[in-house]
Amino acid sequence: MKGVQRIVRRVPPSSRTALVAAAAAIVAIEHFVPFGRLLLYPFTLLSTWVHEMGHGLAALAVGGTFERLEIFADASGLAYSSVVPGWRAALSAAGGLLAPPLAGGLILGFAQGPRRAGAVLASLAAALVVSLALWVRNATGLVSLLPLALAAAAAARLGGDLRLFFAQFIAVVLSLDTLTRMLGYVFVSTARVGGVERASDIALVARGFGGPQILWGLLVAAVALGLLAGGLWLAFRPRRPSSPLRTS
Question: Cα dihedral sign for 92, 94, 97, 100?
Answer: negative
The rounded distance, in Å, linking the Cα atoms of 187 and 183 is 7
The rounded distance, in Å, linking the Cα atoms of 66 and 81 is 4
- Spatial contact of 239 and 15, defined as CB atoms under 8 Å apart: no
* Residue range(s) defining the domain that contains residue 77: 38-237
Percent residues over pLDDT 70 in the chain:
90
Q: What is the pTM of this model?
A: 0.89
What does pLDDT average to over the chain? Answer: 89
Q: For residue 59, is pLDDT > 80?
A: yes
Domain contains 227: yes
Domain contains 21: no
Domain contains 243: no
Domain contains 144: yes
Domain contains 13: no
Average pLDDT value for residue range 207-226: 96
How many separate domains does the chain show?
1
Domain contains 204: yes
Domain contains 244: no
Contacts made by residues 57-61, CB under 8 angstroms, sequence distance 24+:
57/95, 57/99, 58/91, 58/92, 58/94, 58/95, 58/96, 59/83, 59/92, 59/95, 61/91, 61/95
Q: What are phi and psi of 192, to 5 degrees?
A: -95, 115
Domain contains 135: yes
Q: For residue 9, is pLDDT > 60?
A: no
